[in-house]
Structure formats: structure tokens, C-alpha cells
Amino acid sequence: MSSNTSDMKQTDDRFRQVVEAAPNAMVMVGKSGIIEMVNTQAEIIFGYRRDELLGQSIDCLLPERFRHQHPHHRDSFFSDLRPRAMGIGRDLFGRHKDGSEFPVEVGLNPIETEDGIKVLSAITDISARKRMEERFRQVVEAAPNAMVMVDKSGIIEMVNTQAEIIFGYRRDELLGQSIDCLLPERFRHQHPHHRDSFFSDLRPRAMGIGRDLFGRHKDGSEFPVEVGLNPIETEDGIKVLSAITDISARVKANQKLAEHHEELERSNKELATFAYVASHDLKSPLRGIFQISQWIEEDLGNGDILSIPSHMNLLRGRLRRMELLLDDLLAYSRAGRMEGGLSQIDLGVLAHDIFDMQALPEGFTLVTAENLPTFTTLATPLEQVLRNLFTNAVKHHDQLTGRIKLDWQLKNKDYYEFSVTDDGPGIPPEYHERVFVMFQTLRPRDEVEGSGMGLALVKKIVETYGGKTSITSDGIRGTSILFTWPLNIKGRTPIANSI
Amino acid sequence: MQTQSRHNYKEVTLLVVDDDDIDAIALERALRKLRLLNTLHRARDGLEALTLLRSGVISPPYIILLDLNMPRMNGLEFLEALRADPILTHAVVFVLTTSKSDEDLVAAYRKHVAGYVFKQHMDRDFLEVIGLIEHYWRIVELPVNKEMS
């Protein structure tokens, strides 16, 4: 018997030593909640000496507001004896001797002793961890971009104010929801797959490299985003913290930049053409004039007066050509800039007005299709286009009489297509591209006076408003010049001065 | 002696390819001034020049004086067609142009022109050019296409 008693005492001592050596606070209570054993850690975290605790109710270690529920909880533990964590889903607090409170985690273990069942509680002060969590929350909140943390199944666990702003949801509308609500619908079905592959290879990275990503605002609108993904290890398992940046502004700026770039390139190309032209086309009449003046001098010196009138004729021709070139260059450089205002036009009436104003040779008539549209547009550039096409058709005609037809169709929902068709000599297909180039003529200038600017000007104006020019002709008889013109024209602010 | 030397070279025909009437007249006047009696042909663009050359109207030996900026077929396109033609490919061509562009110059020499002359000055040019070409044809042996064709 005595050896049995000493055995039991030995076991009891060993148990006390184990409890004492435990890394966290341990408190053993009986069924009525009276403290029967504590270890040094318990003295430390609660601030009581051991002798102040033994024999007291465990309630003294609880904040007062929880004390009245405690006996009830304790009873239910004793009625279902198994080791478990206390108060799952609730925040637990311990009460220090000085009255302060601190967050705790408590594990409960039933222990059988000869005095009956006791409860051994292991109590961990989790203030430090709570502080870390709070700090993490603050960092997330302070981040300059939207942050959303989701768990493995894609449920949102944390968002910051930026996330509320860019997605238009309140925080409480997001927490507990699937991250899918922040995605455009068409991407949702792929998302679980992408999320799984992220969880299978955990490392911080950008989402969807090489794809354009979009977020979905509460109002259903979409916006381009950049998303960085970071795996975060928490006690609840791995979470993903996504940093989401709304890049609408950047995308818009890039688009604008690209447009400016294109515009600049075009205007540079024009400048290069202009320099080339200025050195050749503008200089050649000058050289001619100089030369003729020498001939006049020479021939007068030789007494050859009869040649003078023809020299003079040539000379005046060159001067006229020079003037024409300069006028047309000016018109070209202004194309798309002198657009006047919007006005409603009846194209049938306008076309006849333009045709009549050109003082074209008598034998030429304009035929317009029936039902030419009446619409609101920038009249000035459209007049310029038609004027050039009409005079061109007449100037290059090989007969004394001719018929010019203006026709139209609705090309698509945004553009009309107009065509000016003549019954002149036609333009062989191999020249169709060239005729739209600045200063290109198909006949020597000494035969048909022209700057070679007409169609280049037409093309430039039409393209300014997003339209296209084209030409059809078999090169035997008749030419159609077609151009598209927007139904709804918008005045534009040129960003680079052409020429 | 003089008659002898006269028979040593065949009179050269000139083909001016230029759309500008004034340049054509200027060449004519320069020939007259230098008392040269060479036959002078005129084409207004590359296409007309090719037609003339292929019709055999222009008797070899001949030298082509070529402008670059012309309607329909310009100088460089004409050179392209000329060098691709098995008979005309031997033709001696001088480019006479107001184009100062390096690209034009390089492109012309790539098509084996005998010289690229820049019409910079308003006067003297044609006299000098005709003078140069006269020397050229007196000294240089020109291909005679007839035997090759």
C-alpha cells in the first residue's frame, strides 16, 4: 500500500513538473472552477503570485463581463469531456491583476485524478500576434492601390479602402463574397482554374502576364487593371493577397500617345515630301523663268525679234504655274484645319452650286443621283473635296463635252460613300496609286497646267475625317473617284501642324 | 587629216527625256550655240522614251539625257525598265536633274548611269553639260546596238 502511495506521489510530482515546464500558462481547476494548480507562466501573464491564485475561482482571470457565462460554459465542457479549444469563433480575453485585458487562446484538457475530473487549461497570450495582425491590416489599408485578400476557395477576407473605391462596393458588401464578383462575367469560369494553379506554385507574381486584365465595377462597367499576387501564410492556411491597380488612365495616356505619334509621323512625312517638292517643283519654274530671260537677251542681241513673243508666252506660263503651286500648297497645308463650322447641307444643291461656281467650260454638265442625303457636317472640307474632283474631271477630259456624275451609297453605319464619275480618258490601273501622291501628274505640265495637288488634297482631307479614297477606271474610258465621309462628323483639334 | 578624223567616230544621237519644254529648248539652243548638228530627240516621260527606243527611230550610237521627275513613268522607273530590256540595257544614260536627294543619286548609279548631273545653276548648265557630253562621245567608244540585236 505504502509503495503504492509513494508511486502515486511520484506520478503526481512528475505531472507537476511537466506542467511547470510547459511553455505557456497552465491552470488546473476542479469542477466548481476553483484553481488547484498554476505554473510560473500563469503567474507571469496574469501578474498574480501562485499563492494568490490557488483556492480562488478561475473567474478572477476573466474580464468581469464574461464571468456570468463562465459556469455555464464550464458545465457544458464537463458534460462532454474531450480536449478542445475554448470559445471557437469568439475572441477570448484574459484579465491581468492590474485590471488590464489581453487576448488569449485557451486549450482545454480533461484530466482524471483521484479527486475526480479536473480541467487543465493551456493559456497563450496572443497580444503580440494580434498586434502583428493589426499592423498587417494597417499596412494593407495604407497601400496606395486596392488590396483584396482571399482564401483558397476565393472568398474575400479582407479589402482596403482603395478596393472599395475602384470597385464601388462597400467593405461589408465584399467580405465573405467570392472574388468573382470583381471580375467581368466572361472571365469568371476560368478563374478557379487560375487560382488553383497559383496555389499549386506559391510565389509572388503578376497575374495574367501577356493578357489584358479587367476589373468589374459594381455598376457593371469594366476597367483595365494590373494585378500582383502574393501568397500569405496565416494560421488559417495560405491566403492570397492581391494588389490591384486601375490602369485606365495609363491605358488612355498610351492610346493618346500612340495617336500623337502617328499624327507626328504623318506630318513629318508630309514635311519631307514638301521639302522635296519645294526643291524641285517650285524651283523648276524659277529656273525656267531665268533661262527664258537669258534667251530673250541673246535673241535680242542677235536681232531675232520674232522669237520674243513665244518666249514671253512661256515666261508667263511659268509664272502662272508658280502661283498655282503656291496656292495649292497653302490649301494642302490647311486641309483639315480650316473646317469652319457644322451646318446642315443638302448635298444635291451644294454639288450644283459648287459646279456652277467653277466656271467650267460650257460642254460639261453635272448629273447628281436622286435622293442625295441632307445631313449635318463640316461643309467647308466637303466642298473642297467636291470642287477638286469636279475641276479635275473636267481638266483632264479629252473631249469638248462631258458628263460628270455624283453618286452615293451608305457604306456602313458610320460612313457614306460618294463617287464622282467622269467620261474622260480614264486612268490605267498602274497609275491608280500614283495619282493620289502630291505633285504627281500623268501628263506633262506643259500640256495640262496642273500642280498635281488636286487628288493629294482630296485624299488628305478625306483621311483627316477617318475616310478613305479609292479609284476605279479601266484606263479606256471614264474614271470614278470614290471617297467615304462620316455620317456624324466631329471637329478635331489638330495636334501637329501639317506643313 | 580633218576628213580622216571626222570619219573616225560616228555622229551621236541625243535623246532628251524631260517633261519640261524649257529644258528641251535649252538643250537645243546649247547644241546650236556649240554648232553641233547632232540629231536631238525628245520624250516627255519614261514611257514615251521606251516607245521611241524600241521603235528604232533613234539610230545608234545614242546618249540618253534623263530627267528624274516626270509624269507617268519617272526617271528611276525608266532606268529600271531600260536595264531589264536585253537590247536597251547597254544604253549610256546621263541623269540631268534638280533633285539633290542622295537616295535618287544612289538609285541612279545603281542602275549604272554614266553620270549624275545636278542642274543647280540657272545658267551655263546646259552649255557645260553639252560640252562634257561632246567630249565624252568623241573619246569614248559607244555600244552600237544594231549589231547586238
pLDDT per residue as tens digits for the range A67-76: 888 888 888 8
User: Which residues in A184-222 are b (16+ Cβ under 10 Å) and which e?
Assistant: beebeeeeeeebeebeeeeeeeebbeeeebbbbeeeeee
A482: closest CA among A373, A426, A408, A378?
A: A408
What is the rounded distance in angstroms from the CA atom of residue A291 to the CA atom of residue B24?
12
Grid coordinates of A65? 463581463
What is the rounded distance in angstroms from the CA atom of residue A269 to the CA atom of residue A166?
42
Contacts of A294 in chain B (CB under 8 A): 123
pLDDT, tens digit, 9 for 90 and up, residues B70-93 = 888 889 999 999 999 998 898 999
CB proximity under 8 Å: B 51-80 to A: 69-72
Best B32, B34, B122 residue to mutate vs chain A (most A CBs within 10 Å): B122
Q: By the 8 A CB rule, do A458 and A385 touch? A: yes
Q: Give the burial class of A306: count Cβ atoms within 10 A of its Cβ; 0-12 exposed, 13-18 middle, 19 or more buried.
A: exposed
Average pLDDT over residues A271-288: 74
pLDDT, tens digit, 9 for 90 and up, residues A446-493 = 666 666 777 888 888 888 888 899 998 887 888 999 999 998 886 544
Instruction: List the domains of chain B with CATH numbers.
Output: 2-32+46-133 (3.40.50.2300)
Q: Is the entire prediction scored with pTM above 0.80?
A: no
Interface residue ranges in chain A relative to chain B, Cβ cutoff 8 Å: 276, 279-281, 283-284, 286-288, 290-292, 294-295, 298, 314, 318, 431, 440-447
Tell if the CB–CB gap between A314 and B44 is shorter than 8 Å.
no
> Any long-range contacts for A220-229 (C-beta under 8 Å, 24+ apart)?
A222/A184, A223/A166, A223/A248, A224/A248, A224/A251, A228/A204, A229/A198, A229/A204, A229/A205
Residue A444 has pLDDT above 70, yes or no: no
A157: closest CA among A216, A236, A93?
A: A236
More confident residue, A482 or A362: A482
More confident residue, A271 or A477: A477
pLDDT band at A495 (very low <50, low <70, confident <90, very high): very low
Q: By the 8 A CB rule, do A364 and A397 touch? A: yes
**E-assigned strands of A151-292?**
156-159, 205-206, 213-216, 222-234, 237-246
Considering only the beta carbons, identify the residue of B72, B99, B122 that sits closest to A291: B122
Check the CA dihedral A180-A182-A185-A186 and report its sign. negative
What is the rounded distance in angstroms from the CA atom of residue A366 to the CA atom of residue A309?
38
A147: closest CA among A125, A117, A171, A130?
A: A171
How many Å separate Cα A26 from the centre of its chain?
A: 58
Q: By the 8 A CB rule, do A20 and A39 touch? A: yes
pLDDT, tens digit, 9 for 90 and up, residues A140-151 = 898 888 999 998
Which chain A residue's Cα is nearest to B100?
Answer: A279
Could you give the 3-state DSSP secondary structure of residue A408? strand
Q: Give the burial class of B6: count Cβ atoms within 10 A of its Cβ; 0-12 exposed, 13-18 middle, 19 or more buried.
A: exposed
Average pLDDT over residues A213-228: 91
Residue A251 has pLDDT above 70, yes or no: yes
pLDDT of residue B149: 39
Tell if the CB–CB gap between B71 and A441 is shorter than 8 Å.
yes
Instruction: List the domains of chain A with CATH numbers.
Output: 11-125 (3.30.450.20), 142-246 (3.30.450.20), 258-486 (3.30.565.10)
Contacts of A315 in chain B (CB under 8 A): none
Radius of gyration of chain B from Cα atoms? 15
Q: By the 8 A CB rule, do B75 and B97 touch? A: yes
